[in-house]
Structure 1
Amino acid sequence: MSRDAVFASIRASLQGAPRVEQPAPVRHHPAPNEPASLARFLERAAFHACTHERIATLDELPMRALAWLESRTPLTTLWMASPLAELAWPATLARRSDAAAKDTVAAVSLAFAGIADSGTLVMCSGPESPITHNYVPEFHVIALRIADLVANQEAVWARLRERGAMPRALNLIAGPSRTGDVEQTIQIGAHGPRAVHIVLVG
């Protein structure tokens, strides 16, 4: 049977058949000013294998961050965002705010924002927060002010526009690094930290 004959047969069979309209899928796109949900953020962050704790002020960060890190690895040097270097870290701990090196084991960073809808941390690159801190260390502690929690990604772009100058790079972090490239077996820490701990401030 020729191609034209096949299509003619199909058209003939469809004539008179009722047309079924498929409803468009309903997708929820939160407005940028929709209130953020802390419970939703923590639920999604846990799904991404992040751990978390909460402190009242940033002054508590050194003690809590070190307790989490030292339970996992010995520390003599800690890389951190320069705004955090002025906090009361132990005098015996060497602090570095430059780019992470191949021997960097741990880093402590300050998130620009958190996205409640996806449990994602938003990190802006810059001299005070080198992008390598997000990828090189095995262990990453990220402080997030609860006031910087937004509902969705659209709200992040709105905040960046309000700030003015855009960062050179913007990283969206959803848990430890992982890959399934090797025999479809999930490997943690393949291209970045193998553990991410969120410290909520406020």
Structure 2
Amino acid sequence: MSGSRELILGNIRKGLRRGALSGDALADCAERLAAPRPNLIPARAAALDHAGQLALFVQMASEAAALVHRVEAAAEVPALVAGIVDAAALPRQLVCAPAAAIAGLDWQGAGLQAQARAARQGDRVSVTPAFAGIAETGTLMLLSGAHSPTSLNFLPDLHIVVLSATRVLASYEEAFALWRRESAGEVPRTINLITGPSRSADIEQKLQMGAHGPIQLHIVLLGA
């Protein structure tokens, strides 16, 4: 264990007024980490069939000021994105996640200039994949990594997220359970949970869109 980590854990133990775990307490902690127990899951999402969860996801995302679009096939995504960019009166230039499912789309055929890289200052439009969608709050779950740099989620003014309808789940617990099953123990540096575009009402209680990130968030539900 690194010295910095041990220092942090030592300060936590000091605050809890105890030493390192041992015996049954340590075994219980290891068991909980290996097999996390789900918390209380709201019935409004869990009790629905998948079609109902999709409808709830769209409703909750829309109430959070995200704009939701539904397409049948990935080939339809570039033309849809071109329309979104034009409606926002932005140049037909975008940065996209290096993930094959995104970077491999026919952006040029839709009249778009796409670069597969992390976002930089001055980039206006980004397109990224989502790992999952959470119906109970209309939240997107995005994993950072070489396939999807986190900067794409926050730097550009217009963020477009492509989400497979099959990966819309009822709750946060189900989303994290899916991640654990598919991660093979690899933990990303960041898991971003995004609900609607960036906003703040810290100054005089006036809502300001895009305060800390994108002004617009578009969700493309694929196969819905």
TM-score class, shorter-chain normalisation, is 0.7 to 0.9
Which position in structure 2 is the counterpart of 1:112?
A: 131
Cα distance in 2 for partners of 1:118, 1:87 equals 29
Question: What CA deviation, in whole Å up to 9, does each residue of 1:133-186 have, x standing for no partner?
Answer: 111010011111000111000011111111122221100110010001111111
Question: What CA deviation, in whole Å up to 9, does each residue of 1:52-104 have, x standing for no partner?
Answer: 11100111100001111121033242111122111111266332222211101
% same residue:
36
Pick 1 or 2: higher relative contact order, CA cutoff 8 A, min separation 6: 1
Is structure 2 residue 91 aligned with structure 1 residue 72? Answer: no
Unaligned residue ranges in structure 1 (runs of 5+): 1-26
Cα distance in 2 for partners of 1:33, 1:41 equals 12
One of 165, 169, 177 as aligned partner of 1:158:
177
Q: Which shows bigger deviation, 50-59 or 31-40?
A: 31-40
Superposition RMSD on alpha carbons, in Å?
2.0
Q: Which shows bigger deviation, 57-66 or 87-96?
A: 87-96
Which position in structure 2 is the counterpart of 1:90?
A: 108
Which position in structure 2 is the counterpart of 1:170?
A: 191
Query: What amino acid is the match of 2:172?
Result: Q
Is structure 2 residue 141 aligned with structure 1 residue 129? Answer: no
Which position in structure 1 is the counterpart of 2:73?
A: 57
- Higher-Rg member (1/2): 1
TM-score, length-normalised on structure 1?
0.81
Does structure 1 conserve the Cα–Cα contact (< 8 Å) formed by 2:129 and 2:161?
A: yes
**Between Structure 1 and Structure 2, how many residues are aligned?**
176
Does structure 2 conserve the Cα–Cα contact (< 8 Å) formed by 1:160 and 1:166?
A: no
Does structure 2 conserve the Cα–Cα contact (< 8 Å) formed by 1:33 and 1:155?
A: no
Consecutive aligned runs of 4 or more in structure 1 exceeding 3 Å deviation? 30-36
Unaligned residue ranges in structure 2 (runs of 5+): 1-38
TM-score, length-normalised on structure 2?
0.74
